[in-house]
């Protein structure tokens, strides 16, 4: 595990958080922005479009399982560095060939290496400020939300305009640009991970988390994976079908990104106060409302409000789960337990995009999938609300 008392912890946290820009913002969210152009240029239907993000999620499953075993035999810093660099390279490669098999392979590898980076970085971030519950909760929240929000805002500010100016056939250059941006960030993120000192950790097989006592949290997190990914994958496709302007698309994604950046400050008090499933339940309710708003209020105001509410919540479930683990599980088991949660999340996340695509192809309206996703998220919130603390005397 990690024992970190760095002299510049906030700078290190910034480097780790920018790794999330690569693994999640560029690796997962950017696809939703580039997809309308790929779908139009390559003639894909909604099921094919969803399949590519499902392949990304399958890669995430494999990466999460790998991390579950690697985290005990290798330092989180090394896993984070390898995952971050490899994700950036695979993003760059995505722009080199339009073949569906090649695209599937790239999305799979981005998911696999992104999981290594994301989970290991979360363990590193959780090791900061261990003497202060509020600072630790804020550090975890900033790791998941700060870098991811920055990356999404950057993509939202550039990709829609670029694809509108140069046409949908320029989707390959969009991926190349995303890959280059990721490679520029890599040195700082890798440096940050190397600044955290490592203590010896047990090389035995990972311990088995107390799953029976965590069913509420596990169920809520799994249903989060199933539901949130529908909005991420298809909201830009839905906007294009509704003939919304490029300016509105750009504004929506920038509001989404900046809201994600602000979300740690909105939720830090809740995360520090509760050791139960309450934070995850409240957060999932926000994600559910944000997912449904574009359909319930199908105009520009509804979209901006949707991006605001969704953004203030969507990057916080991993934060809530990591905070729950930190408060309820012994430190030597943090990595294995976070990896277990990530595997459950990844399995459910893999079903979301292709399931939503099938629903959209059957009904002829991808908006129906957004409503179904919102309902799934509300069920997840109910599951999380039932989760009690694992240690006596905690709230």
Q: Taking the CA atoms of the chain, what radius of gyration do you get in angstroms?
A: 19
Asked if the model's pLDDT at residue 1 lies above 50, the reply is: no
Fold designation for 9-196+211-385: Growth Hormone; Chain: A; (1.20.1250)
- Cβ distance 94 to 110 under 8 Å? yes
- Contact indicator for 117, 23 with CB cutoff of 8 Å: yes
Q: What is the pLDDT of residue 6?
A: 62
Residue 259 tokens read as: 């809201």
The structure's pTM equals 0.83
Instruction: Return d(Cα 106, Cα 91) in angstroms, integer.
Output: 7
pLDDT of residue 2: 47
pLDDT of residue 363: 85
Q: pLDDT tens, 192-239? A: 988 876 544 444 555 666 778 889 999 999 999 999 988 988 888 888
Tokens encoding 92: 């760059």
User: Could you tell me if 250 and 304 are in contact, meaning their C-beta atoms sit under 8 angstroms apart?
Assistant: no
Q: What is the pLDDT of residues 97-108, one digit of tens each?
A: 989 999 999 999
> Domain segments of the chain: what residues?
9-196+211-385
Overall average pLDDT of the 169-177 stretch: 95
Is 19 a residue whose pLDDT tops 70? yes
For residue 213, what pLDDT is reported?
Answer: 84
Mean pLDDT of the chain: 87
Question: Could you tell me the two tokens for 261?
Answer: 């950046």
Contact 239, 39 (CB under 8 A): no
Among the residue ranges 1-10, 95-104, 131-140, 195-204, the one predicted with the least confidence is 195-204
Q: Which residue reads 């919304």 in tokens? A: 244
Token pair listed for 17:
């958080």
CA dihedral of 113, 115, 116, 121, whole degrees rounded to 10: 130
Identify which has the larger pLDDT, 78 or 394.
78
Predicted confidence (pLDDT) per residue in 45-61, tens digit: 888 888 888 899 899 88
Angle at CA of residue 352, ends 209 and 267, nearest 5°: 60
Q: How confident is the model at residue 251 (pLDDT cuts 50, 70, 90)?
A: very high
Q: What is the DSSP letter of 209?
A: P
Q: 247 or 351: which carries more pLDDT confidence?
A: 247
Cα 175 to Cα 62, 231, 252, 290, 392, distances in angstroms: 23, 20, 20, 27, 49
């Amino acid at each position: 595990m990690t024992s970190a008392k760095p002299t510049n912890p906030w700078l290190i946290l910034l480097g780790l958080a920018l790794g999330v820009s690569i693994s999640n913002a560029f690796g997962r969210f950017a696809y939703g922005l580039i997809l309308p152009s790929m779908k139009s240029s390559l003639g894909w239907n909604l099921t094919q479009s969803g399949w590519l993000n499902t392949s990304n999620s399958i890669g995430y499953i494999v990466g999460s399982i790998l991390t579950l075993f690697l985290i005990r035999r290798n330092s989180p810093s090394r896993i984070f560095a390898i995952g971050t660099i490899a994700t950036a390279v695979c993003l760059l490669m995505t722009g080199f060939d339009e073949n569906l098999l090649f695209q599937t392979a790239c999305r799979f590898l981005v998911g696999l290496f992104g999981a290594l980076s994301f989970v290991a970085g979360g363990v590193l971030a959780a090791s900061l400020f261990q003497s202060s519950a509020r600072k630790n909760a804020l550090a975890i929240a900033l790791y998941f939300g700060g870098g991811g929000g920055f990356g999404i805002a950057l993509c939202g500010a550039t990709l829609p305009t670029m694809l509108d100016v140069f046409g949908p056939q320029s989707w390959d250059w969009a991926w190349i640009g995303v890959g280059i941006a990721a490679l520029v960030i890599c040195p700082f993120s890798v440096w940050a991970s190397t600044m955290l000192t490592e203590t010896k950790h047990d090389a035995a097989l990972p311990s088995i988390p107390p799953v029976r006592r965590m069913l509420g949290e596990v169920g809520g997190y799994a249903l989060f994976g199933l539901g949130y990914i529908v909005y991420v994958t298809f909201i830009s496709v839905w906007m294009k079908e509704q003939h919304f302007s490029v300016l509105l698309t750009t504004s929506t994604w920038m509001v989404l990104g900046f809201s994600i950046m602000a979300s740690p400050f909105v939720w830090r008090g809740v995360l520090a106060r509760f050791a139960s499933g309450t934070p995850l339940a409240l957060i999932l309710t926000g994600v559910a409302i944000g997912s449904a708003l574009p359909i319930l209020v199908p105009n520009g105001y509804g979209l901006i409000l949707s991006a605001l509410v969704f953004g203030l919540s969507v990057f916080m479930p991993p934060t809530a789960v990591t905070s729950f683990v930190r408060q309820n599980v012994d430190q030597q088991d943090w990595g294995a337990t976070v990896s277990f949660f990530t595997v459950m999340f990844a399995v459910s996340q893999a079903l979301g995009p292709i399931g939503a695509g099938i629903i959209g192809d059957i009904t002829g309206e991808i908006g129906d999938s957004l409503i179904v996703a919102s309902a799934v998220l509300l069920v997840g919130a109910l599951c999380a609300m039932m989760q009690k603390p694992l240690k006596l005397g905690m709230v």
